[in-house]
Amino acid sequence: MTDSSDKLVSRDGHTVPLKRRASVLGADALEISGMAAATGAYGYDPGYAATISCTSRITYVDGEKGVLMYRGYAADELARNSNFEEVSWLLLHGELPKPSELQAFSDELKTLRACAPEVLATIAAMPAHAHPMSVIGAALSVMPAAHTDCIAPNDADHRRRFSHRAIAAMPTIAAAAFRHSQGQAPVSPREDLGHAANLLYMMFGKDPNPTAAKALDTLLVLHADHEQNCSTSTVRMAGSSGVNPFSSLAAGCAALWGPAHGGANEAVLKMLEAIGSPERIEEYIARAKDPNDPFRLMGFGHRVYKNFDPRATIIRDICHEVLKALRAGRGRLFRLARNLEEIALSDRYFKSRRLYPNVDFYSGIIYRAMKLPAEMFTPMFAIARTAGWAAHWCEMHEDPELRIGRPRQLYMGPKPRAYIPAEDR
């Protein structure tokens, strides 16, 4: 029986009962599937800012309260007490692993880190100047051919093997892409190093600084998942067609690469370098506020967080520690970022639009202190988000309500008209 307490009344008096689906936390859903039949109109919601696309049990974000939870555990608590391998297990399997489960998972990841020769050959064949995100996308597109035991969406064993292999292999792929761009051969992963430490080792070919490895692991935890963000929704949309999971991840990587999304960390650093000194901050703030200037303050604003992004606060604190530990210069960019943050947050334009620093605002400064080139910042994001992408891809294929994604449009084109022969045009 539909709970008809929610209803829509169309202009010609049609009453459309809307079935309410209660959430465990946050907003409920109103099913609008019957709306078009009763009213001749679909919901119009560019950018899906007010649309629920699926049910999920993985992550919860409260934008008003600055809350981020993975499977019910606060992300900042996990950032302080857990590590990326444990959080990956949590996102994939729904519970914190028992010590024996974590050890087995960690041992399994070790066996899955090495890249297949075809994948390495694809990376080596890419132009050296290619952006690492395009190299990672190409490498992921080879994976279904290289690993045919983990590509069937409807097979639970395939889904499990895919999710573990994807998480294990992404650092190796990203590190090989980095070394290719430096004209260097890839470095194989080591069995004695954990996820983040191995990533730094495979990039630089030497024992990683423990503080840098720990900071990187915490960054991976904080970037691991974030509900139905642009790239995760892209993974779900591509995956809804039944395509293999690695190709779904490649689609997600493409979406993440954009400067409005995961490409923002790279854009923040380039923006800070362009600003150069505190004296020029006002100039850039004015540009960001100018409706006729496409420039936006990179690292500020968020579709969901209309309060602080809890990740930004933690990353700002880590930034301070890493700069000190790595003696990364005098932290000029960090001080400039702090200046910019203080000025922007006191400005009416940003306050009135509730624009706060987001996850990307400080992360680039840490990566730069680790001597990563700006082009490698988004790949760091992709390595982390592979855990979330894989968890969502698996969840959607376990969902009995799964349907191929196919939104509608508001057609504003020409009305029917007859063909005009070329000689009469």
What letter represents residue 309's amino acid? D
Other beta carbons less than 10 A from residue 90's beta carbon: 24
Task: Between 93 and 306, name the residue whose CB sits nearer to ligand SDX.
Answer: 306
CA distances in angstroms from 44 to 264, 311, 391, listed in the order given: 28, 31, 29
* 28 catalytically annotated: no
Which residue from 60, 109, 49, 63 is spatially nearest to 84, judged by alpha carbons? Answer: 109
Q: What is the distance between the alpha carbons of residues 388 and 405, in angstroms, rounded to a whole number?
A: 19
Least Å distance, CB 404 to ligand SDX, is: 23
Least Å distance, CB 52 to ligand SDX, is: 14
* 397 catalytically annotated: no
Task: Between 219 and 328, name the residue whose CB sits nearer to ligand SDX.
Answer: 219
Task: Between 171 and 301, name the residue whose CB sits nearer to ligand SDX.
Answer: 301
Other beta carbons less than 10 A from residue 293's beta carbon: 10
Q: Which of 302, 309, 392, 397 is the catalytic position? A: 302
Least Å distance, CB 258 to ligand SDX, is: 8
Residue 150 contacts by C-beta under 8 Å, 6 or more apart in sequence?
A: 158, 159, 161, 162, 165, 245
Task: Between 112 and 396, name the residue whose CB sits nearer to ligand SDX.
Answer: 396
Task: Between 160 and 296, name the residue whose CB sits nearer to ligand SDX.
Answer: 296
Q: Tell me if 263 sits within 8 A of 230, measured CB to CB.
A: no
Least Å distance, CB 340 to ligand SDX, is: 12
DSSP H or E run through 8: strand 7-9
Least Å distance, CB 49 to ligand SDX, is: 7
Q: Tell me if 209 sits within 8 A of 372, measured CB to CB.
A: no
Dihedral sign of CA atoms 300, 305, 309, 311 in order:
negative
The size of the chain, in residues, is 425
Least Å distance, CB 285 to ligand SDX, is: 9
Q: Which of 217, 225, 309, 360 is the catalytic position? A: 360
Please write down the long-range contacts of 48-51, taking CB distance under 8 Å and 24 or more positions apart.
Answer: 48/233, 49/303
Residue number, nearest CB to ligand SDX: 301
Which residue from 296, 276, 313, 228 is spatially nearest to 54, judged by alpha carbons? Answer: 228
What letter represents residue 341's amino acid? E
Which residue from 273, 270, 375, 356 is spatially nearest to 316, judged by alpha carbons? Answer: 356
Residue 370 contacts by C-beta under 8 Å, 6 or more apart in sequence?
A: 200, 209, 212, 215, 216, 322, 326
Q: What is the distance between the alpha carbons of residues 102 and 162, in angstroms, rounded to a whole number?
A: 18
Q: Which token pair is 92?
A: 């994939």
Task: Between 299 and 379, name the residue whose CB sits nearer to ligand SDX.
Answer: 299
Q: Which token pair is 409?
A: 């449009």
Binding site for ligand SDX (CB under 6 A): 47, 226, 229-230, 260-262, 264, 288, 296-304, 353, 355, 358-360
Least Å distance, CB 141 to ligand SDX, is: 22
Q: What is the distance between the alpha carbons of residues 161 and 163, in angstroms, rounded to a whole number?
A: 6
Pairing label, strands 67-70, 59-62: antiparallel
Q: For residue 333, what are the β-bridge partners?
A: none
Q: Tell me if 26 sits within 8 A of 10, measured CB to CB.
A: no
Positions marked active-site: 302, 360
